[in-house]
Structure 1
């Protein structure tokens, strides 16, 4: 198997985790959201990436210590900004519903997370694959938009009443746009943390594939500062520390840990695949990851019966997923 084929397989494998980890969020009760989120984010953004990186990188602390401070703080800042996007996602859902929010956020996160790293590459416009990448990203946006429309039509069939006013919907859409742009910064941070991985490769003889984990450790320090910090703020504000001791919470704790493991498994495996793709790895791999994750998450939704009695919207969904698959194939070919 050649290197590029392995890279694509890794990204496909990562998309399974990305499209599946959200299932665990159905099992937050009886814990309060902030208690569950603190555990999940610590496992996802600190425990798993640090442990995994320590296993495959002989001197992780030495790698990070040798990193230029500007690179370190820039990558961590992008992780922090992504964390803000995650919080805004929840606010938008409350105002506009999951379908509209998810469609906007996924589309912007996939496209912006691809285009920004591309433009940061010297001579991006002269890249032979540049027009192919643009076609792939545009098709991806169309596919995401169609799946969002299908979701909205499905929700209308299930509920003819809407509690949101037009004003709150417009505000929710604006918040979703902000969330989508900020959500792209997770991949931008990974791309900008490439010098961290280079130190691991050059100075510690770590494989390119495993060195990517050092990049994630730096980015996710910033991500956890936002996510963990916000959860602690909620715990203090709502005085919900006692939630950690609530009865019958064993299942919620288990799913918080499992969700955290799956969340970083997606990023860790994706990072390895993107590293094997070379300079265009974050450009090509990121939209493939999110596009496939959207397909997988809809598969789980179908299995859970969320598309029952919605034949018309389901046909629209199938058309959107077909376009997504076409876009993914084009993006995969762009760096071949």
Structure 2
């Protein structure tokens, strides 16, 4: 039952992450940096402390009483992840929601799931799996098979993107928009590698989550693990993400002289603000529900793979719904649909792996 609940929570989180950029696409008359920083204020600064306060009223005391090194490393990984999150927005801009998310999150899935396992192989810790777990146990082998199947699905999505580029000459100017495969793929690779740092930040900040978990279990004996234990860790990780993004966006606003976007008569200020708030809040909800799923499955490779796979699945589904693939030929459309189906299969395999433990 815990495994099923964990998969459901990860699906909700993946749906939130795979959908967050949709409101941004409806913002009119603003530059990318103008909308990104406003949405980010909700993602990194406003919503996380509110969520932490609701679920862990003494979260501020936990952070203050945590060792400097723990808070520092958690913040550092958040800083690096912030670069990945920043370039994620650019990757989606140049590649589209479906292809951009597939490449970026696919790389993040691989690095985020395997690098901690390599670390714990050399630095053993209770409850943590080393890389040998994926080759010496039935559950671990099943997780690895699920990871490889998901990579195949990501490959098909990427192939669909390349086929789409070849057919751009037959597409409308609206469909072409900002699509730039060469620049987008470079940005996506950087984003994918650094985006995995969020999982490293969760690992680094685990002592804070353990305190929150211990306090809740003391007040609620024999009721399992605390669903919201990671909410305190997110606050620190997202400080790092905010630092990176606000510096870059202010630089762009100054360089491009786009501070004036907020005063444009032609831009619907109220509607744009609402869309940015919606996008930023939806973005944060991915981690809110990730923490709930992690409390049921554990913060191992399974949780990260499921989270990433669901995001990729939903992102590609939105790509189809938003008609990003409208006008492409049949082989291209079959490739993107095939990629989605295979990613769904990988989710089932990883979910099944938890029943083998």
TM-score, normalising length from structure 2? 0.83
Compared CA separation, residues 89 and 7, structure 1 to 2 (3 A): closer
Which of 193, 198, 206 matches 1:194?
A: 206
Distance 1:169 1:19 in 2: 20
Gaps of 5+ in 2: 172-179, 220-224
* CA shift digits 1:237-279 (9 cap, x unpaired): 3343332232322211111000011100111111111122124
* CA shift digits 1:275-302 (9 cap, x unpaired): 221242xx21222122222222222222
Secondary structure of the 1:306 match is coil
* CA shift digits 1:89-111 (9 cap, x unpaired): 456678x7447654432221111
Compared CA separation, residues 88 and 279, structure 1 to 2 (3 A): closer
- Is 1:325 the counterpart of 2:344? The answer is yes
Compared CA separation, residues 324 and 289, structure 1 to 2 (3 A): same
Cα pair 1:34 1:234 within 8 Å, conserved: yes
Give how far 1:325 is off: 1.4
Matching of residues 298-317 of structure 1 within 5 Å:
298-310=316-328, 311-317=330-336
* CA shift digits 1:280-330 (9 cap, x unpaired): 2xx212221222222222222222223333322111222222221121112
Distance 2:340 2:184 in 1: 25
- Is 1:240 the counterpart of 2:258? The answer is yes
- Is 1:153 the counterpart of 2:128? The answer is no
Give how far 1:56 is off: 0.9
Cα pair 1:29 1:249 within 8 Å, conserved: no
Secondary structure of the 2:274 match is helix
Equivalence for 1:164: none
* CA shift digits 1:70-99 (9 cap, x unpaired): 1111111111111112334456678x7447
Which of 191, 206, 220 matches 1:179?
A: 191
Equivalence for 1:139: 149
Compared CA separation, residues 328 and 189, structure 1 to 2 (3 A): same
Distance 2:41 2:346 in 1: 34
Compared CA separation, residues 16 and 102, structure 1 to 2 (3 A): closer
- Is 1:68 the counterpart of 2:86? The answer is no
Equivalence for 1:84: 83
Give how far 1:236 is off: 3.0
Cα pair 1:18 1:290 within 8 Å, conserved: no
Compared CA separation, residues 319 and 174, structure 1 to 2 (3 A): same
Secondary structure of the 2:295 match is helix
Equivalence for 2:240: 222
Cα pair 1:102 1:148 within 8 Å, conserved: no
What count of residue pairs does the alignment treat as equivalent?
A: 326
Distance 2:254 2:87 in 1: 20
Cα pair 1:143 1:323 within 8 Å, conserved: yes
Across the aligned residues of Structure 1 and Structure 2, the Cα RMSD in angstroms comes to 2.4
Compared CA separation, residues 3 and 199, structure 1 to 2 (3 A): same
Distance 1:55 1:36 in 2: 27
Equivalence for 1:165: none
* CA shift digits 1:190-226 (9 cap, x unpaired): 2322111111122465762111111111111101111
